[in-house]
Amino acid sequence: MPKDTAEKSTKSKKAYAQAGVDIDLADSIKGGLKDQLARASRPEVLGKAGGFGGLFDLSKSGYKRPVLVSSVDGVGTKLKLAFSSGRHEGVGQDIVNHCVNDVAVLGAEPLFFLDYVGMGKLEPGVFQRLLAGMAKACREAGCALIGGETAQMPGFYKAGEYDLVGSVVGVVEKPKILSGAAIRPGDKLVGLGSSGLHTNGYSLATRIFFNKLRFRMDDRLPGSEVTVADALLEPHANYAGLLQQLLKRFNKGTRSDRRAGNGIFGAAHITGGGFTGNIPRILPEKCDAVVATGAWPKPAVFEILADQGGVTFDELYEVFNMGIGMVLMVAPEAAEDVVRKARRARRPAWIIGEVKAGRGRVHLT
């Protein structure tokens, strides 16, 4: 390269960095995370991270009639707590686990995940912790962190803030798609315990905790040994591995839309919309779900929201997961065994209701 061209190129890079976009810094940070990213991979991944597109060889997965299942989501206003506390690794886990759970309820195994991080100025420590959280969650889910996009947009975001979005692709054998079609009156609802608020209801929860009740982040949560920050920033639980284990154990039938040989007929991820917004998504038109809200102990964070938040009973279950992150529709004869298997896998679980004849609605009792 001629000297004058090289000088112009160097000046260009410096000018872009002075404008707030440091490409060299971004490349350097990503290079330093190669070991973590390599551990968040799978044998089907081709090439290396950093290409124009992630490559995944589905033929190596061993599926005979593969159906791809995809989901995309963001962390939402929980990010505000990460900004104020400086705790970023947890929201990195949040975005992976939320997306993974959304495909898991269809019976899908998560294959690969991609992220989008948008920020005004690249802060190396923040970015490293976000990526570390995502890589950790992907490893735990058996999912490859195959690529992503880091956008530096000076003046677009407030100082110290960023946006975080993710997407996941999973796969399920076509006859094994868990659609809810086999759910019938008499089936039991098995609730899998949440790790806290997960990633929903934060606009209301933070207003209650910090504006109405005047808590500070380092205050002890009443009725608990953890701080308010610990309770509100606890990462979203990942149910994908447990659900795959349960389906292998209880669903031996050739088709998931039929009851023969199967014990689990549907699953709902309790996210935005709570119980009343998510359970109907998998109910047949002629079935209702009756949730016994006293059937499980509520974590302290939810007790405070219920007792001191001034939120009506119905709205609590429309906005928050209230300690239940996933609901399974299970054959009556299998329900107790499903609960035992979940608890052995260190996931709290309870029978929290049943399916009755109806019109696709949820009733809270």
User: Domain check: are 199 and 330 in the same one?
Assistant: yes
pTM for this prediction: 0.90
Strands 55-56 and 45-46: antiparallel
Reported as a pLDDT band with limits 50, 70 and 90, residue 16 is low
Asked whether residue 12 is assigned to any structural domain, the reply reads no
Phi-psi region of 76 (alpha: psi -120 to 50; beta: other; left: phi over 0): left
Asked whether residue 4 is assigned to any structural domain, the reply reads no
pLDDT, residue 183, reads 98
Please tell me the distance from the alpha carbon of residue 255 to that of residue 267, in angstroms, as a whole number: 16
User: Domain check: are 321 and 203 in the same one?
Assistant: yes
201 vs 24, which has greater pLDDT? 201
Residue linked to tokens 């996931």: 347
CB-based burial label for 167 (10 Å; 0-12, 13-18, 19+): middle
Residues in the chain: 365
What type of residue is 273? G
SS3 assignment, position 109: strand
User: Domain check: are 103 and 216 in the same one?
Assistant: no
Q: Please state the rounded mean pLDDT for residues 211-221.
A: 94
Please tell me the distance from the alpha carbon of residue 218 to that of residue 187, in angstroms, as a whole number: 43
pLDDT, residue 40, reads 87
User: Domain check: are 199 and 335 in the same one?
Assistant: yes
Domain-terminating residue out of 148, 176, 204 = 176
User: Domain check: are 348 and 202 in the same one?
Assistant: yes
- Span 244-263, pLDDT tens digits: 999 999 999 999 999 999 99
- Span 152-171, pLDDT tens digits: 899 899 999 999 999 999 99
Asked whether residue 13 is assigned to any structural domain, the reply reads no
Which residues lie closer than 8 Å to 89 by C-beta, 6 or more apart?
A: 129, 130, 132, 133, 136
Task: Please give the C-alpha separations between residue 276 and each of 48, 146, 265, 280, in angstroms, as whole numbers.
Answer: 43, 35, 19, 7
Asked if 287 and 184 count as a contact pair (C-beta separation under 8 A), the reply is yes
Asked if 63 and 171 count as a contact pair (C-beta separation under 8 A), the reply is yes
Asked whether residue 86 is assigned to any structural domain, the reply reads yes
Domain-terminating residue out of 176, 206, 236 = 176
User: Domain check: are 74 and 119 in the same one?
Assistant: yes
Asked whether residue 5 is assigned to any structural domain, the reply reads no
CATH assignment at residue 289: 3.90.650.10
Reported as a pLDDT band with limits 50, 70 and 90, residue 147 is confident
Reported as a pLDDT band with limits 50, 70 and 90, residue 73 is very high
Q: Tell me which range, 20-24, 36-40, 296-300, is most confidently predicted by mean pLDDT.
A: 296-300
> What percent of the chain has pLDDT above 90?
78
The mean pLDDT of the chain is 91
Total tally of structural domains belonging to the chain: 2
pLDDT, residue 122, reads 86
User: Domain check: are 38 and 138 in the same one?
Assistant: yes
Residue linked to tokens 């669903």: 251
Q: Which domain holds residue 227?
A: 188-364
Please tell me the distance from the alpha carbon of residue 150 to that of residue 168, in angstroms, as a whole number: 17
Strands 362-364 and 287-291: parallel
User: Domain check: are 197 and 322 in the same one?
Assistant: yes
